[in-house]
Amino acid sequence: MSAPLRLMAVHAHPDDESSKGAATMARYVAEGVDVLVCTLTGGERGSILNPKMDRPEILANMAEVRRQEMERAREILGVSQRFMGFVDSGLPEDENEPLPEGCFAVQPLEVAAAPLVAAVREFRPQVILTYDDDGGYPHPDHIMTNRVSVEAFEAAGDPDRYPGTGDPWQPLKLYYHMGFSKERFEALHEAMTERDMGSPYAEWISRWEDRPQKWPVTTRVPCASYFETRDLALMAHATQVDPDGFWFVCPRELQMEIWPTEDFHLARSLVDTEPPEEDLFAGIEGAAPAKSGTPAGCDERTQASVVN
């Protein structure tokens, strides 16, 4: 018996899906896996980070502009995408500054998680991607995204929790994005320095806290062939990404040579798997790629048939 492979990526804002795990998603799409991006907020309070797009009419229509950018990125990556309906919390300049009333990060956990639980139960992914408990960086929406993702992973399979959000479905693996590691940036910095390219990473590395990595990399997914797709999706978020800026200083060909993977930490697993992994679906037996539909005789209301 087999079940379609499905991957869900949970993100805080439009553009996060293109800067974190985009090449991995594009690879799995090409291999026939169904991929769904769940975007928890609309990015309404985002700043214009690309000076070429810093125009009053864009800032006045930020929510709609970012939805249009998300649609373009979605098409480039080949994924499905849904907004979960919450309002961007913004990034306070002062950590003591109160967050806006009604924004995503101040929602009770049960309220914030309910739409994602419903999406998990409807889409039925075996694997979920999200941020670590520091949010990848300490944006309040990113931290809340971790909390909501963990809650959905743990609750979606329990028929007694979140009534009215669909039949229970238990995901099998939960991963944290680990793309912004010191090890990766040191490798790119060294390669650029050796080639006299002038590295942009020296100051960043010098400010990195010298401590053990909280969440070690367990899984490195080879996806260099999809770095161009990743970059095109990222540039689709034109208000957020300057094509002449930091993201693209290191040549893509050098990235493909020096660090041809996207990296993750396996935070939860209900299947047997042995790190290091090269596949997010490692250990998920009896599953074969399929675009849609349920194989004959397979009851998809729970994951029991896949686990056992």
Tens digits of per-residue pLDDT, 143-198?
999 999 999 999 999 999 999 999 999 999 999 999 988 899 999 999 999 999 98
Mean pLDDT of 18-45: 97
Question: pTM, whole model, 2 decimals?
Answer: 0.90
**What's the maximum distance between 2 C-alpha atoms anywhere in the chain?**
60
Q: Token pair for residue 248?
A: 């693209």
Residue 292: other Cβ atoms inside 10 A: 7
Q: What is the pLDDT of residues 102-149, one digit of tens each?
A: 999 999 999 999 999 999 999 999 999 999 999 888 899 999 999 999
Residues 6+ positions from 236 with CB-CB distance below 8 Å: 18, 69, 72, 73, 76
pLDDT of residue 205: 86
Q: What's the full length of the chain, in residues?
A: 308
CATH homologous superfamily for 6-181+215-307? LmbE-like (3.40.50.10320)
- Predicted confidence (pLDDT) at residue 287 exceeds the cutoff of 70: no
**Does 13 count as an annotated binding residue?**
yes
pLDDT of residue 204: 82
Domain definitions of the chain by residue range: 6-181+215-307
Bridge partners (DSSP) listed for residue 220: 263
**Are 179 and 166 in contact, with CB atoms under 8 Å apart?**
no
Task: Give the DSSP H or E segment for 147.
Answer: helix 140-155
pLDDT of residue 210: 67
Task: Give the DSSP H or E segment for 7.
Answer: strand 6-11
Percent of the chain with pLDDT over 90: 76
**Does 11 count as an annotated binding residue?**
no
Characterize the bridge pairing of strands 261-269 and 219-222: antiparallel
Mean pLDDT of 12-20: 97
Cα-Cα-Cα-Cα dihedral sign, residues 83, 86, 90, 94: negative
Percent of the chain with pLDDT over 70: 91
* Amino acid letter for position 75: E
pLDDT of residue 2: 62
pLDDT confidence bin for 215, thresholds 50/70/90: very high
Q: What is the pLDDT of residues 62-75, one digit of tens each?
A: 999 999 999 999 99
pLDDT of residue 183: 92
**Does 142 count as an annotated binding residue?**
yes
**Are 278 and 219 in contact, with CB atoms under 8 Å apart?**
yes
